[in-house]
Amino acid sequence: MPRTVTGIDLGLCNARFLRGYAKGNTFHVTAFANTPLSSKEIVDGWSACEVPFKPASARVGITGRDVNVRYVRVPRVPDWQLRNLMRFEVEEIGGQSGAQSGGAALASDFNLLPQLPEIEGEDVVLLAMARESLLEAHMDGLAGLGGSLDAFTPNAIALYNAWTRYGVLQDETVLVANLGHDNVDVVIARGADLLFARNLTGGSRLFEEAIAQRFGVSTEKARELKETIATLDPAARHIDTNAEKASRAILASAGQLTSLLQSAVIFCKSQVKLTGLKLDRVVLCGGGAALAGLPKYLSNALSVPVELFDPWKVVDTTALKDDQRAELEQYGLESVVALGLATMASDPTTYGVELLPAATRKKRAFAEQHAWMIAAGVFALGYLGWDAWRTRGELEKARDQARAAEQQYKRASETSRKADELVAENQRLAGFAKELLATKGSGEQLARVVALMQKELPADFWVTQLSTDRRADPELGLARGEEQPVVSVTGRAREGTNSLATLYEGFVQGVRAKLPEGHAIEEHLAPNGSKFTLDVSCFAPRKDAATGSDAAPANTGGAKKAGKDG
In a domain, 373, yes or no: no
In a domain, 508, yes or no: yes
Q: Cα(201)–Cα(14) distance, rounded to whole angstroms?
A: 17
Hey, CA dihedral for 354, 360, 366, 368, is it positive or negative?
negative
Tally of CB atoms within 10 A around 519:
21
CATH number, domain of 14, equals 3.30.420.40
pLDDT of residue 249: 94
Mean pLDDT confidence for 517-533: 83
Mean pLDDT confidence for 350-364: 90
pLDDT of residue 256: 95
In a domain, 547, yes or no: yes
Same domain, 553 and 454: yes
- Kindly tell me if the per-residue pLDDT of 335 is higher than 90: yes
Q: Specify burial of residue 21 (Cβ count, 10 A radius: 0-12, 13-18, 19+).
A: buried
Same domain, 70 and 162: yes
Same domain, 548 and 477: yes
Tens digits of residue pLDDT in 285-308: 999 999 999 999 999 999 999 999
Same domain, 485 and 346: no
Last residue of a domain, one of 322, 340, 356: 356
Q: How many domains does one find in the chain?
A: 3
Same domain, 266 and 336: no
Same domain, 303 and 335: no
Same domain, 63 and 83: yes
Q: Cα(378)–Cα(165) distance, rounded to whole angstroms?
A: 40
Predicted confidence band at 551 (pLDDT cuts at 50, 70, 90)? very low
For every residue of 234-278, which 3-state class applies, written as one string?
CCCCCCCHHHHHHHHHCHHHHHHHHHHHHHHHHHHHHHCCCCCCC
pLDDT of residue 369: 65
Q: Do the Cβ atoms of 452 and 515 come closer than 8 Å?
A: yes
- Kindly tell me if the per-residue pLDDT of 565 is higher than 60: no
- Poorest-pLDDT segment among 173-187, 211-225, 282-296, 537-551: 537-551
Mean pLDDT confidence for 352-356: 95
Last residue of a domain, one of 298, 332, 356: 356
In a domain, 519, yes or no: yes
- Domain region containing 76: 1-167+314-356
pLDDT of residue 207: 95
Tens digits of residue pLDDT in 59-74: 999 998 879 999 999 9
Taking CA atoms, 343 is separated from 58, 266, 427, in Å, by: 11, 29, 83
Average pLDDT, the chain: 88
Tens digits of residue pLDDT in 131-155: 999 999 999 999 999 999 999 999 9
- Kindly tell me if the per-residue pLDDT of 255 is higher than 90: yes
Same domain, 60 and 50: yes
Q: Cα(162)–Cα(127) distance, rounded to whole angstroms?
A: 20
In a domain, 300, yes or no: yes
Tens digits of residue pLDDT in 472-517: 888 888 888 888 888 899 998 887 767 778 888 888 888 888 888 8
- Poorest-pLDDT segment among 21-30, 94-103, 328-337, 518-527: 94-103
Predicted confidence band at 555 (pLDDT cuts at 50, 70, 90)? very low
Mean pLDDT confidence for 260-267: 94
pLDDT of residue 563: 43
CATH number, domain of 517, equals 3.30.70
Same domain, 103 and 12: yes
In a domain, 464, yes or no: yes
Predicted confidence band at 544 (pLDDT cuts at 50, 70, 90)? low
Strands 106-112 and 58-62: unpaired
In a domain, 393, yes or no: no
In a domain, 488, yes or no: yes
In degrees to the nearest 10, what's the CA dihedral of 201, 207, 213, 217?
-120
Tens digits of residue pLDDT in 365-400: 776 665 666 777 788 888 888 888 888 888 888 888
- Kindly tell me if the per-residue pLDDT of 518 is higher than 80: no
Same domain, 219 and 282: yes
- Kindly tell me if the per-residue pLDDT of 564 is higher than 70: no
| Residues ≥6 apart with Cβ < 8 Å to 368 | none
Q: Do the Cβ atoms of 540 and 479 come closer than 8 Å?
A: no
pLDDT of residue 448: 84
Same domain, 297 and 318: no
Same domain, 157 and 174: no
Q: Cα(271)–Cα(119) distance, rounded to whole angstroms?
A: 12
